A and B are shown apart, each in its own frame.
Chain A
Amino acid sequence: MSRRTRLAVVPARRIMIGRALALCAVAVVLAIVLVLLGLPLGMVCGLVLKSTFGTVFGLENLALYMTPLLMTGAAVWLALRAGLWNIGAEGQFLAGATAAAAVGLFAPLPAPVALPVAMLASLVAGGAWSAVPAAGRAWLGVSEIITTLLLNFIATYLVYYLVTGPWADHVTDAQVSSQRMMLALPSVYSVVHWGGPVALALVVALGALLKRSRFGYELSLCGSNPDSARYAGIRVAPRLFTALVASGALAGLGGMMEVLGTVHRLQGGLAHGYGYLGIVVALLARQSAYALIPAAFLMAVILNTGIVLQTLQVSASSVLAITGLLVFAVAVSDELAAYVRLETKS
């Protein structure tokens, strides 16, 4: 006879096996859809693999996709540690990008000074963009899910206002964008800029900080059980506030990297959904900050696959569908991995 029971703590190995199966399931569904669309499967796979991993352009694309995903992923992940859902990384990303662009466009500073200033400005702007929802959540109990989400729209339209109004480029007629900034993050290789290595280092540092510091411990205690945190004498509200503001600052820094590293103009489509994809990255990473790296990598591969698929006339929306399917499959597999069979002797 056998019974099933749900484990409170699931071993990482079970999660990994479950997720591998989930990825396979997504691949199979994708293959079926491609065949139904009449595309030769071998050719498509070959082209995706070659374009993503077999060319310099592909590898550069992966690096450029990973950078903002790491930052927004880390932002959402940090808030999740404190039990908070930061749905507003998109808006904080834009706020940070706007602040960095303001420095890039208007501050007459040499690059070695301007870059740290832009970095600081983006951290402050991203943090400020999440400060009101953070305060509302910490001291008034207002759901941060709603407030952070709604601020995304305000940030988006603020950027549209700036780039079609006061900051619009009337010189080269570039659409919905500011002038190109001369201030740029230095390049590592070709179009790949230093934002990537910095993002990687930040993620590693974040992991170490939360694992080893007292702040990290208190934060996860606030997140997992606020009542016992209070009982232990931790002042919960300031911890929650700090976590959400720091989360916004990380997303804001991501915006600075994108605008000064990749795009070079403040423009309407800048955030590109990275704030929302950061939620996916954070969910995939679960408790581990280090796992943000493979999660962001996977997401970057999916996004780059979307570019390749578009040249085969598969709609750009297919990327969203693949992402949704992946999150769904992973959620199911994570849940199933928690169930074990109890062998009982009859």
Chain B
Amino acid sequence: MSLSFSKGLTRRRLLAAAGCAGLPLRAGAATRFAPIAEEDLLVGFGHTSPVNDGGWTQMHDKAIRALKDHFPRMRSLYVESIPYSADATRIFRQFVAEGAQMVISTSDYGDFIKDVANQAPDVGFLECDGNNVTGNLGWYYITHWYASYVIGIAAARLSRNGRLGYIASFPTTSVIASANATLLGARSVNPEATMRVISINSWFDPQAAASAGAALIDSGCDFLCGIMDDPGYLRVAQERGVWAAMWNTDMRQFGPDAYVSSVMLDFVAYYRQTIEARIAGRWRPAGTFLTLGHGVDRDAWGARVPLAIQREADAARDRMLAGWSPFTGPIKDSKGQVRVPAGQTMTDMEIFHWNWQVEGVSGLV
């Protein structure tokens, strides 16, 4: 309670600092993001990993490159490997200083981007995996949990002992949602399935991801999944003869026998629409989910995944596309307490803010 109060205070103070209060903000936003000529538009992109990381950042970069075809006269800047430190603030400020009218961070930089947005009210900011919507800052994210659930079904069918290993970055809510969704998918066909998690404190550290993968296999897991930018642990799975599901893109070349599928990302359409809207003066800060089949999906199944398993998992995917949500109670947390009562379905926002691990997951929170 006290927290939400203090948050409100900050926001009010920020609005005051921006020179507007309450209602006039919306009127201000309309003129603030006025139409702009394509050749005058400068967009700054900030990435958490190198653009050739083979995964998360590469998928964003691919979509950014595709923008060049649609908006050949638009100029763009990017910085890769931005640390989660005050230097992130400096880099976003530098985008503004160089004249960017739009700044897009392809990862969650929290206060580091919000502080800059508050100081540059005329610049539009977008944060992937973000949480804030202010007068000039919005967020976008993929509802990856549906794809993870589908992959989880295949995981339970492929694993001999039902022990899944998960290589996590940090125990943040999107990681928790990913791990939970995968295990819930697995438990839908094998209620005994469990998941052990190792966090490596990085999104891109192929060496640490490989070590974590090997440690999980040593502890008895025969199916690896996770949320890494790179294919590090897929190589380990290939060498050790276990299965692996990945994130971001098709990574089968790094472990053709082990590869099951991937949470496949596609930001091309979203970035195009965003830039179109900004040029036309229609862009407004908001929170946007890219949904299953529209920005996120499972990748084509791996060569060694039996057809029957593919069909079973895809049947769940078809139901989700038709509107069904598997995130329906009863769902228990890892202490055995029912957190989502029977008959209640979690909204995407609730899943996005998932901060407890489901029953069967250990080592994450």
Interface of B: prevailing SS: mixed
A296 on interface, CB distance cutoff 8 Å? no
A152 on interface, CB distance cutoff 8 Å? no
- B20-28, B84-92, B312-320 - the one binding chain A: B84-92
The one of B79, B171, B173 in contact with A311, judged by C-beta atoms closer than 8 angstroms, is: B79
B3 on interface, CB distance cutoff 8 Å? yes
Interface residues of A in 281-330 (CB under 8 A from B): 304, 307-308, 310-311, 313, 315-316
B240 on interface, CB distance cutoff 8 Å? no
Are B77 and A265 closer than 8 Å at their CB atoms? no
Nearest Cβ distance between residue B4 and chain A, in whole angstroms?
Answer: 9
Are B86 and A64 closer than 8 Å at their CB atoms? yes
Residue count of chain A within 8 Å CB distance of chain B = 41
- B95-103, B227-235, B290-298 - the one binding chain A: B95-103
Nearest Cβ distance between residue A51 and chain B, in whole angstroms?
Answer: 5
Interface residues of A in 150-180 (CB under 8 A from B): 160, 164, 168, 170-177, 179-180
Are B86 and A172 closer than 8 Å at their CB atoms? no
Residue count of chain B within 8 Å CB distance of chain A = 38
Are A175 and B170 closer than 8 Å at their CB atoms? yes
Interface residues of B in 34-91 (CB under 8 A from A): 44, 77-81, 83-87, 90-91
Which chain A residues lie closer than 8 Å to B108 at the CB level?
173-175
- A12-20, A29-37, A196-204, A268-276 - the one binding chain B: A268-276
The one of B97, B119, B199 in contact with A164, judged by C-beta atoms closer than 8 angstroms, is: B199
B93 on interface, CB distance cutoff 8 Å? yes
Which chain A residues lie closer than 8 Å to B6 at the CB level?
182
Are B84 and A173 closer than 8 Å at their CB atoms? no
The one of B77, B85, B129 in contact with A267, judged by C-beta atoms closer than 8 angstroms, is: B85
B357 on interface, CB distance cutoff 8 Å? no
Are B172 and A57 closer than 8 Å at their CB atoms? no
B44, B78, B84, B199 — which one has the most chain A CB atoms within 10 A of its CB?
Answer: B84
Assembled-state Cα–Cα distance A170/B84 (Å): 17
Which chain A residues lie closer than 8 Å to B115 at the CB level?
191
Are B84 and A57 closer than 8 Å at their CB atoms? no
Are A164 and B94 closer than 8 Å at their CB atoms? no
Are A173 and B353 closer than 8 Å at their CB atoms? yes
A263 on interface, CB distance cutoff 8 Å? yes
Chain A residue at minimal CB-CB distance from B169: A175
Are B86 and A308 closer than 8 Å at their CB atoms? no
Are B90 and A307 closer than 8 Å at their CB atoms? yes
Interface string of B167-194 (1 = CB under 8 A from A): 0001111100000000000000000000
Chain B residue at minimal CB-CB distance from A262: B86
Are B170 and A311 closer than 8 Å at their CB atoms? no
Which chain B residues lie closer than 8 Å to A316 at the CB level?
81, 83
Chain B residue at minimal CB-CB distance from A174: B110
A239 on interface, CB distance cutoff 8 Å? no
Interface string of A217-257 (1 = CB under 8 A from B): 00000000000000000000000000000000000000000
Nearest Cβ distance between residue A111 and chain B, in whole angstroms?
Answer: 13
Chain A residue at minimal CB-CB distance from B171: A164
Chain B residue at minimal CB-CB distance from A182: B6
Counting from the closest, the 10 A-B pairs by CB-CB distance are: A269-B85, A174-B110, A173-B173, A310-B79, A170-B355, A57-B93, A307-B90, A57-B97, A269-B83, A55-B97
